[in-house]
Every structure is written in C-alpha cells, then in structure tokens.
Amino acid sequence: MLKDLTTNYKLKGLSYNQLIDLIGEPVKYMNEDSNKIFYPVLEDYGSDIDPVHTIDLTIKLGADSTVSDYNIEEWKR
C-alpha cells in the first residue's frame, strides 16, 4: 500500500484536506510546534512489548498547509 501511495499519487503539493481525504487523519503531529505529521505503517513487536521493526510515513507541511515533502523511515532492532 505504501509503495502504491508513493508511486501512483503525487503527495507533494496536496493540501492538508486533500491528504486527509486520501489517507485519513494522521496519528499525531511530531510535536506542537512542528509542521510534520506522522503515519505509522508497520509496528512489529515480535514476542516482546517493545517494537522490533517499524516503518513510518512522515509528511512535512509547508507554511500554506500543503505537503512540501515526505519521508519513509524504517527502523529494525
């Protein structure tokens, strides 16, 4: 799904409302003053309470609340 989203849709330039219509409400803002929003894509906990593998889609919004950039972040323990 993530590959389809980043390959077949032009995320940069979308307004905040268009982004919400396309993929839904973000899980959270990175922090109160940040212009980045966060969508978890994968959280694998294995057999522990701490995650062992995560993939997140982080979207940066410009001053006019349009998508200016996005990044896919992957972490493995």
Q: The pTM is what?
A: 0.82
Q: Of 28 and 16, which is predicted with more confidence?
A: 16
Q: What is the pLDDT of residue 44?
A: 94
31: left (phi over 0), alpha (psi -120 to 50) or beta: beta
Handedness of CA 2, 38, 24, 15 (dihedral sign): negative
Range of 33's domain?
2-76
Q: Of 1 and 44, which is predicted with more confidence?
A: 44
Beta bridge partners of 29: 37
Tokens encoding 23:
């993929």
Q: What is the pLDDT of residue 21?
A: 96
Q: Which stretch of 26-30, 40-44, 57-61 has the lowest confidence by average pLDDT?
A: 26-30
**How many domains, the chain?**
1
